[in-house]
Amino acid sequence: MTNKTKNIAIVLAAAAALTGIGAGSVAATEQPKVNDALQREVAQHVLEAGPPGYIARIDNGRQVYTLAKGVADKTSGRRIKVTDQFEAGSNTKTFTSVLTLQQVDHGKTKLDAPVETYLPGVVPNGKNITVRMLLNHTSGLFSYTGDPDFFTNMAKDPQHVYTDAELLKIAFKHQPYFAPGKGWQYSNTNYILLGMILQKQTGQTMPELVEERITEPLGLHDTYYADPKATTDVAHGYAIEYASGKPVYTDTSDWPIGSWGGPAGAIVTTMDDLSRFFSGVLQGKLFSQEQLKQMKTTVPLPAEFPIKGGYGLGLFKTDSACGTVWGHGGDTMGHHSTAVATEDGRLTAVTDSTGEPLEATENAGVKRYYQTLVFGADAVTTCQLLGKPVPADVLANLRGTAK
C-alpha cells in the first residue's frame, strides 16, 4: 500500500466524490422521478469495478429512492441492504466540526485562537495555527496518513490500536506542507487535534460527545463513533488488490477504524441517518445560525484539485456543471461513501460502496475503479438528485467509452 494510493483514497475520494452534483432546492412538483434504469446501470458498473456491494439513497423532495446491489459479506453471501450500517470515513469530519462549533457557541472555544491556547506544547508552531485552520485544512500540518509507511505498517498489524500521541508523532516527524494559513491541504492530523481539544475541554470521550450532542438530538439511532471498531453487523468493507489482474479481497470490517481514523474518520452509520445528519447540519439544528455561517465560510480549493469549489469548516462546497452542493465524502480501508445536500438541507443523496483499492492509480483496474466510482457513480447519483441531465463526459467515463 503506497502513500500515493491513500492520498487518493482518503483525500481525493473524500472530495472528488462530490464531483458533478447539483445545487439549490427545486420545488417538489417540478422534480422528475429518479431514473431507476440509470441508477441500476451505475450500480452494475461499480460492482464490475470490484466492490462487492453498492447502496444509494436519493431524496429529491418528490420521492425517497433507494437501491442496493451486491453482497454485504462475501463469505456468507448475505445480500447488502439499504438499511445496512457502514463505515463513513471522513464524513466524520463534519461531526467533529459540529462538536467544535457547539463549543464556540458555549464560549469554550474561539475559532481564531491559536491551538497553543488549548493544547499547550503539543503542536509545533501551535501559536501560529488557529482552530479555524484545523477545521478548514489551512494549518499546513502534515497528514499522518500521508506517511509512506503508515498503511504498509497497518497491513502488517491491522489490529494495532493507535493512540493520538502515536498518530501525532508520525505527522510531526514530517515538515509542514506550508506555513500556517498559506495554502490548503487535506490533513487528517487537523481533526485528531480537534478531537483532543474537545475531549480535554469537556472531559468526555468522542463516542460520548457524538451520542449526547448529535445522534440523540437528531434521532440517529443507527449511528455511533467506533471505539475502536464497529460493534454491529455492518456491511463488510474490503481492501481490493488489483495487481494480479484479478481483484484480491481482504475483509477489513473488524479493523479498528476508530483508532487510526478517530475524529477524522470513526463514524459508523446508515444511509437514512447520514442523510438526516447533513440535512440537520445545513438547517442549523445543532448550533447557532452564526456557526452555520462560519461553517459555510470557505477557502478555495487548489487549482490542481480535481473539483472546483471550496472547503469550509468540515464541509465541502462543490461547484459543478450541475450546480453547487454541500457535503463530504469518506474512505476507510474498505468503504467509499459520499453524502451531499442542497444548501437548505432539504434534498440529500448518500452512497456507499464496499471496496477500496490498495494500489496507485497507474494500475488499470484502479483507474477503472476511480473513473467509475468517484467520477461516475457519485456524479450520476447526485445529478439525479436535482433532476439535472448527467454530463456526457461523465456518462462516457462511466460506460468506458471516453475517447
pTM beyond cutoff 0.75: yes
Question: How many H helices and E strands in the chain?
Answer: 17, 14
Query: For residue 379, is pLDDT > 90?
Result: no
- Mean pLDDT, residues 4-11 taken together: 42
The three grid cell numbers given for residue 212, joined into one nine-digit string? 449526547
Query: For residue 90, is pLDDT > 90?
Result: yes
pLDDT tens track for 279-314: 999 999 999 999 999 999 999 999 888 778 999 999
DSSP string across 94-112: HHHHHHHHHHHHTTS--TT
Query: For residue 362, is pLDDT > 90?
Result: no
Determine contact, residues 249/240, Cβ cutoff 8 Å: yes
Q: Answer positive or negative: Cα dihedral of 155, 160, 165, 169.
A: negative
Q: What is the pLDDT, as a whole number, of residue 374?
A: 78
92 residue type, one letter: T
Grade residue 25 by pLDDT with cuts at 50, 70 and 90.
Answer: very low
> Which among 206, 173, 186, 228 is positioned nearest to 8, based on CA atoms?
186
Determine contact, residues 106/98, Cβ cutoff 8 Å: no
CA distance 265 to 93: 7
Query: For residue 89, is pLDDT > 90?
Result: yes
CA distance 97 to 291: 10
- Mean pLDDT, residues 36-40 taken together: 97
Say which CATH class 3-94+206-399 falls into.
alpha beta
Determine contact, residues 385/318, Cβ cutoff 8 Å: no
Grid-cell match 440529500, residue found? 348
| Contact partners, residue 42, CB within 8 Å, separation at least 6 | 54, 56, 376, 377, 380, 381, 398
The residue ranges of every structural domain in the chain are 3-94+206-399
Q: Show which residues are catalytic.
A: 90
CA distance 270 to 277: 10
Largest separation between any pair of C-alpha atoms in the chain: 57
Alpha helical stretches, state H, 204-325: 206-210, 216-218, 257-260, 271-282, 289-295
Alpha helical stretches, state H, 203-307: 206-210, 216-218, 257-260, 271-282, 289-295
Give, for 325, the enclosing helix (H) or strand (E).
strand 323-331
pLDDT tens track for 44-62: 999 998 999 999 999 999 9
pLDDT tens track for 305-339: 877 899 999 999 988 778 789 999 999 999 999 99
CA distance 203 to 217: 20
- Mean pLDDT, residues 187-198 taken together: 98
Integer-rounded Cα radius of gyration of the chain: 19
Lowest mean per-residue pLDDT among 63-77, 174-188, 243-257: 243-257
Query: For residue 13, is pLDDT > 60?
Result: no
Grade residue 30 by pLDDT with cuts at 50, 70 and 90.
Answer: low
Q: Looking at per-residue confidence, does 6 or 338 come out higher?
A: 338
